[in-house]
Amino acid sequence: MSSTRAPSQNAPIKYPWWYGGVGGIVACVATHPLDLAKVRLQTAPLPKPTIFQMVTKILANESVSGLYSGLTASILRQCTYTMARFGFYEFVKNNFIPANQLTNTAILLPVSMLSGAIGGFVGNPADVVNIRMQNDTQLPVEQRRAYRNAFSGITRIIREENPKTLFTGLSPNLIRGCLMTASQAVTYDIGKEYMVTKLQMNPSHKKTHFGASLLASLVATTICSPADVIKTRIMNAHKNQESAVRGMVRAVQKEGVLFLFRGWLPSFVRLGPNTIIIFLTVEQLKKHNIGLRLNQQ
C-alpha cells in the first residue's frame, strides 16, 4: 500500500486509513466466484477437479447465483479483516514511520505482520461464516447449515454452537494474515519503489500500479497457500470429524507436501485480480483525494 507523500505546507498528506478496506470490497465483489471455486477445490475429495471444472459444476448444479454463495460474508470479511489490516498498516506508516524510511523492509515487515495479525483476529468470525457458506452445498444434505446471510450465520453459531466457534482456526488465520499482509503490502511498496527509481516508470501511471500489484499477488499466493489450505479445512470441519491436525498430517502423508499448495492456481487466479483491483482502487482514491483530510498545523 504505497503511500504517495505530497508536501503541503511542509506536512505530508495522510490518506484515510479505510482506503484498503474499500479496495477490498470492490475486489471482493469482482472476484467472488473465483474465491468460491478456490474454497471448494481446497475441500474437494480426490481426484480434484480443475478450477474450470469446478466453476462448470457450480453453474450446472446451482446456476449463476451459486457463484455468489456467501457474498454477504465475503463483504463482511472485507469490512473487518481487510479494513483492519490495511488500515493499521497505513496508520502506522502515516504517523510513525519517517518519510525516508517508507520502503525500509526491516521496518515494514514487522509493521505489516502485526497489521495482518490484527486483521486476522478482527475478521475471523466473518471468515468462519464465509467459508461455511461458500462450501455448504458441497456437504451432505443433513450436514448443511443453510445460513441466510453473514449475520444470520454469526447469530446461529452463537446460539447453536458456542461464541468460541467464531474463532475456530484463529491460529492459522493469524499466521495467514501476517503472511498475506507482509507479502502483499510490502511487496507492493517495494516493487513500486523499484519500478519508479530503477526502471524510471511513472509513479502515478496505472502500468506501474498493475506491475507492482501483479508481483505482490504472485508472492502472496505462494507464501500464503499452506496456511490458507489448513485454515479452510479447520473452519469447514464438523465437530464429529477428526481433528484438523490429524487430518492435515494424514493428508500430507497420503498426498505429499504439495498438498499444502493444493489450489495454488485457483488461488492465484483469484488473488491476482483481487490484489490488482485493491491497489488500483486505492491509487485512484488517492489520486482523487476521496475523503482526504489534511492535518492543519
Quick one: residue 85, left, alpha or beta (phi over 0 = left, psi -120 to 50 = alpha)? alpha
Residue spans per domain, the chain = 23-287
pLDDT, residue 7, reads 43
Cα-based distances in Å from 18 to 60, 222, 240, 290: 38, 27, 40, 11
pLDDT, residue 293, reads 61
What fold is seen in the domain 23-287? Mitochondrial carrier fold (1.50.40)
Contact between 131 and 153 under an 8 Å Cβ cutoff? The reply is no
d(CA 73, CA 154): 10
d(CA 96, CA 78): 25
| Burial 270-288, CB ≥16 within 10 A → b, else e | bbbbbbbbbbbbbbebbee
pLDDT, residue 295, reads 41
| Burial 252-262, CB ≥16 within 10 A → b, else e | eeeeeeebbbb
Beta bridge partners of 11: 8
d(CA 269, CA 283): 22
pLDDT, residue 294, reads 46
Question: What are the backbone angles phi and psi of residue 7, rounded to the nearest 5°?
Answer: -70, 140
d(CA 159, CA 186): 40
Residue 72: enclosing H or E segment and its boundaries?
A: helix 71-77
- Give the residues of the chain that fall short of pLDDT 50: 5-9, 294-297
pLDDT, residue 247, reads 63
214 CB-contact burial (10 Å; exposed 0-12 / middle 13-18 / buried 19+): middle
The distance from CA 221 to its chain's CA centroid, rounded to whole angstroms, is 10
Q: What is the pTM of this model?
A: 0.82
pLDDT digits (tens, 9 = 90+) for 28-51: 999 998 888 877 887 777 777 887
